[in-house]
């Protein structure tokens, strides 16, 4: 059993994809054990993506992530981290496999509708960034 953090990014919310993303995860055996809508400010987006500080896309990415509401969720299941990333597809939608969320719905490498943690340590950091223990409900 593993936990991961996923986000329906501001572009995904504006495209009415909240339900589609959650449905894809649920259909594939992941359980949503924490869920909320948030509107990150610039500082919160910068903290979330601190690992990318200094990269050429950091400024634009953190502006985009603070440009509208997002839906953040904690998913639980076997191999949740890898499973979530497989369902999302590659960062660049042009490289994402057919049938993945990003291939189907993303506009470009920045506006790629969905986030998923990339490993156990990042998952722990990212879950703790948005959720406390009382906001998670394993069932
Ligand atoms: N990103 C970008 N340009 C790039 C690489 C990434 O705008 O060249 C954005 C994109 O929104 C991506 C996020 O930064 O989802 C985090 O990048 P990462 O490499 O961690 O990709 P992910 O783990 O989301 O697939
Ligand atoms: Mg990443």
Measured from CB, residues less than 6 Å from any atom of ligand 1 are 52, 57, 61, 91, 109-110, 112, 115, 118
Kindly list the distances between the CA atom of residue 37 and the CA atoms of 28, 41, 88, 131, in Å, as whole numbers in the listed order. Answer: 22, 13, 19, 12
Q: Give the Cα separation of 138 and 52 in Å (integer).
A: 31
Instruction: Give residue 35's pLDDT.
Output: 98
Ligand 1 midpoint to CA 36 (Å) = 22
98-120 pLDDT, tens digit each? 999 999 999 999 999 999 999 99
Residue range 16-37: mean pLDDT, rounded:
98
Residues marked as catalytic: 115
Instruction: Give residue 57's pLDDT.
Output: 98
Residue range 18-38: mean pLDDT, rounded:
98
Instruction: Give residue 23's pLDDT.
Output: 98
Ligand 1 midpoint to CA 115 (Å) = 9
Q: What is the pTM of this model?
A: 0.98
Instruction: Give residue 110's pLDDT.
Output: 98
Instruction: Give residue 65's pLDDT.
Output: 99
Pocket probe for ligand 1: among 110, 115, 119, the residue whose CB has the most ligand atoms within 8 Å is 110
What is the Cα 56 distance to its own chain's centre? 21
49-98 pLDDT, tens digit each? 999 999 999 999 999 999 999 999 999 999 999 999 999 999 999 999 99
Q: Residue 16's pLDDT band (boundaries 50, 70, 90)?
A: very high
The minimum-distance atom of ligand 1 relative to the CA of 118 is 23
Instruction: Give residue 15's pLDDT.
Output: 98
Q: Give the Cα separation of 6 and 85 in Å (integer).
A: 9
**Among protein residues, the one whose CA lies closest to atom 21 of ligand 1:** 91
**Beta strands at 70-77 and 31-38: parallel, antiparallel or unpaired:** antiparallel
Pocket probe for ligand 1: among 5, 6, 109, the residue whose CB has the most ligand atoms within 8 Å is 109
């Amino acid at each position: 059993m593993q936990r991961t953090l996923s986000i329906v990014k501001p572009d995904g919310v504006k495209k009415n994809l909240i339900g589609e993303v959650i449905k894809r995860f649920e259909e594939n055996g992941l359980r949503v054990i924490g869920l909320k809508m948030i509107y990150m400010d610039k500082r919160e987006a910068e903290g979330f993506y601190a690992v990318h500080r200094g990269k050429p896309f950091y400024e634009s990415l953190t502006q985009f992530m603070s440009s509208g509401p997002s839906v953040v969720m904690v998913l639980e299941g076997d191999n949740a981290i890898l499973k979530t990333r497989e369902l999302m597809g590659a960062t660049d939608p042009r490289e994402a496999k057919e049938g993945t969320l990003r291939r189907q719905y993303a506009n470009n490498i920045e506006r790629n509708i969905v986030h998923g943690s990339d490993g156990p340590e990042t998952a722990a950091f990212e879950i703790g960034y948005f959720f406390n223990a009382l906001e998670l409900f394993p069932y």
